[in-house]
Amino acid sequence: MTAIGVGRTRVPLRTFYVGMLVLLYLPIAVLFIFSFGTGTTLSFPLSGLTLDWYAEVLDNGAMIDAARNSLVVGVAAATTATAIGCLVAVAVLRFRFRGRGLLLALAGLPLVVPFVVMGVAFFLLFVTVDLPRSLVTVAIGHSVIGVPYATLIVLARLSGLDPALEDAAMDLGATYPSALRRVVVPLMAPTLLSAWLTCFIVSFDEIALAIFLVGGDPTFPVFLYGQLRFAQRLPVLIAMAVLLMLGTVALTLIALRIRGRDD
């Protein structure tokens, strides 16, 4: 019995969800098909079939490095942003203190500033303090733009958890931190995953800020936009993008599977 909610109404919710899924995956399917064509411009019908683009991807060290760079930056940025988001959410919802609203505003404010403006601002900051630009500076920048998303998502879930749960745990002798760990974290796990994934995705495809901060090692979007300055590079890039997505899907399914087994 999954529908404890409002019972079976006539609203075709599943159809709506599947429709959304189709719209999201349709362009990717087009790219997927195109990546097996011999043509270099994105058009149909395909003039011939080939696996060359995938072979070229595996040959292209710079491209694989760029993808790895993006992965590393995404993980660092998403983890930092999620950590900060959690701390802010717990502080704001579980404690009464002066500046509560201010803290929340601070965590939400990065949403308001367009990425390109943040890029210039970070560029000025890192030049001023003489911190050489690198993947670390990109990760710092991306961690900041992820904070609002992480905070809002965690906040929305945590506001629904009854603080009495923690109080009860503490009545049973737990310290507050261990109450958080034993009671709150397990309940929050799926939300933390969503928050982390959102921040990761925001970072993974971000170019406006990255172009100002990358230094010598390009992230994948910086590499991709650069390569697209030339004709003929499109199919290789698409093949790489397809591989990256398949990798993400596989990792996600494995992660969910492992979690499912734990349950």
Partner 1 sequence: MRLPYPARFLTVLMIIGFVLAACATQSGDGSPGESTAESAAGTSAPAPSAAAEEPNELLVLEWGGYEAEEFWTDFKSAHPDTDVTFEFGDTDANILAQMQGGSQADIFHFYTGWQQFYVDEGLVQEIDTSKLTNWDKVPAEYQELGQIDGKQYFVPWDWGFTSILYNTEQVDEVTSWDALFNEDYAGHISMWNDGPGAVAVSSYINGWDETALTDDQLAQIEQDWIDQKPLNAFYWSGEYTDLCPAVQDGTIWVAYAWQGCYATALAAGDPVAYANPEEGRNSWVGLYGISADSDSPELALEFLDQKLAETSCANAVTLFYYGCANGDVMSSIDDPVLIEAFGLDDPSILESTNFTPLVTEEQREAWTAMWERVQAN
Partner 2 sequence: MLGRRGTLRFLVTPPVAWLALFFIVPLALIAAFSLRAGSGAVGPDEPWLASVDQYAELAGTPAFLRLLGLSVLVAIGVAVLATLLAYPIAYFLAFRAGRRASLYLTLLLVPFAVSYLLRVMAWKLMLGPEGGVNSLLSFLGLTDEPIQLLLYSRPAVIITLVYVWIPFAALPIYAAMQRIDRHQLEAAADLGAGPWSRFWRVTVPLSLPGALVTFFMVFIPTVGEYVTPALVGGTDGIMYGNIIQGFFTRSANWPLGSAMAMTMLVLTLAVVLVGLRAVNLRRVLS
Which region among 46-54, 56-64, 80-88 touches partner 2 (by CB under 8 A)? 80-88
CB of 36 to partner 1, least distance (A): 18
Please select the residue that binds partner 2; options are 177, 232, 261, 262, rule is CB under 8 A.
Answer: 177
* Chain positions contacting partner 1, by CB under 8 A: 39-43, 60-65, 68-69, 72-73, 75-77, 79-80, 82-83, 86-87, 90, 120, 123-124, 127, 132-136, 138-139, 176-178, 180-181, 184-185, 211-212, 214-218, 222-223, 225-234
Binding partner of residue 106 among partner 2, partner 1, none, CB under 5 to 8 Å per kind? partner 2
Q: What token pair was written down for 230?
A: 């030339």
For residue 116, the minimal CB distance to partner 2 (Å) is: 5
- Can residue 125 be called a binding residue for partner 2 (CB under 8 A)? yes
Q: How far does Cα 192 stand from its chain's mean position?
A: 12
Q: Nearest to residue 72, comparing CAs of 197, 203, 250, 210?
A: 203
When the beta carbons of 229 and 261 are compared against partner 1, the nearer one is 229
**3-class secondary structure per residue, 210-258:** HHHHCCCCCCHHHHHHHHCCCCCCHHHHHHHHHHHHHHHHHHHHHHHHH
Q: Pick from partner 2, partner 1, none: which does 61 bind, CB < 5 to 8 A by kind? A: partner 1
Q: Which among 206, 185, 191 has a CA at the least distance from the CA of 73?
A: 206
Work out how close the CB of 220 gets to partner 2 at its nearest, in angstroms, rounded to a whole number: 8
Answer with the entry of partner 1, partner 2, none that 249 interacts with (C-beta below 5 to 8 A by kind). Answer: partner 2
Residues pairing with 49 in the sheet: 37
What 8-state DSSP symbol labels residue 41? S
Q: Are 149 and 110 in contact (CB under 8 A)?
A: no
State the CB neighbour count (10 A cutoff) for residue 27.
9
* Residues within window 195-254 making contact with partner 2, judged by CB under 8 A: 195, 197-198, 201, 204-205, 208, 220-221, 224-225, 228, 237-238, 241-242, 244-245, 248-249, 252-253
Q: Which is nearer to partner 1, 13 or 168 (CB)?
A: 168
Contact 188, 158 (CB under 8 A): yes
260 contributes a contact to partner 2 by CB under 8 A: yes
Per-residue tokens: 49? 């079939």
